[in-house]
A and B are shown apart, each in its own frame.
Chain A
């Protein structure tokens, strides 16, 4: 019983992170809560197979990712690699000149914090097809390595890299479109050579 008490205490600290990522995966709170509960139950039951001293956080995220793919995505197991448009390299960076400078503050990071609302960032992730959304969440949001993500998704590292690259570009394009819709962009400011 002691080891399992430890599990509850150790795992509980990751519950908020798991919930935030579950919410981006499932896109609604009730399903996200169910997914985290199921992840904890599976972790609890499989705790004998968990090796003490290894990365509990990565282990929990792996369980959650597999549970999500199997449960919520059973109709769409086959990855659809072609469902994202090709987006040019450095998409958003090349367009930053089009943002209305009067709405900008000093540091670049503060500018971006103000340019994109929480909902826009969340939507940009959630609008990604699942094949791309999950690696982006695991990398950009949760900071897992390519190797860890490859193990979680059971795909080669090269596949993780390519999905991240394409997913991130698509996300940048969506963020730009949201900013355009809110009237923050004047495309006449862009250098035609870009």
Chain B
């Protein structure tokens, strides 16, 4: 099983889904028995969700998709 230091060091890669299955099992094993590391994990998982949600909260400008289709359409005509 991983210890606290190893778990915190690998938290980022764990959240990024970049660890091997065996390593994930060790990290999960540690998190189950360690409330401090579990707290750190939950904090960073929540932070990731918040960043993703807020950074992508954008409305497309009016007519954006139409202009995008139009620019491809123009390219086709231009090739003829």
- Chain A contacts to B: CB under 8 angstroms: 4, 8, 12, 15-17, 19-20, 23-24, 29, 33, 36-37, 40-41, 44-45, 89-90, 92-93, 96, 108-109, 112-113, 116-118, 120-122, 125, 137, 139-141, 143, 145-146, 161, 164-165, 168, 171-172
- In residues 51-72 of chain B, which contact A (Cβ within 8 Å)? 51-58, 60-61, 64-65, 67-69, 71-72
* A4 neighbours in B (Cβ, 8 Å): 76
Asked if residues B46 and A40 are in contact (CB atoms below 8 Å), the reply is no
Sample (21) of A-B pairs whose CB atoms are under 8 Å apart: A4-B76, A8-B69, A19-B58, A19-B64, A29-B61, A33-B64, A37-B67, A40-B68, A41-B72, A44-B72, A89-B8, A93-B40, A112-B46, A113-B50, A116-B54, A118-B57, A121-B51, A137-B55, A140-B52, A141-B51, A141-B52
How many angstroms between the C-alpha atoms of A125 and B53 in the bound complex? 13
- In residues 12-62 of chain B, which contact A (Cβ within 8 Å)? 12-13, 16-18, 40, 42-44, 46-58, 60-61
Asked if residues B12 and A168 are in contact (CB atoms below 8 Å), the reply is yes
* B47 neighbours in A (Cβ, 8 Å): 92, 112, 172
Asked if residues A12 and B61 are in contact (CB atoms below 8 Å), the reply is no
Asked if residues A96 and B43 are in contact (CB atoms below 8 Å), the reply is yes
* A113 neighbours in B (Cβ, 8 Å): 50, 53-54
Asked if residues B50 and A141 are in contact (CB atoms below 8 Å), the reply is no
Interface magnitude class on chain B: 20 to 34
Kindly provide the distance from the CB of A67 to the nearest chain B CB, expressed in whole angstroms: 14
How many angstroms between the C-alpha atoms of A168 and B50 in the bound complex? 13
Q: Which of A23, A36, A96, A116 is the one whose CB lies under 8 Å from B50?
A: A116
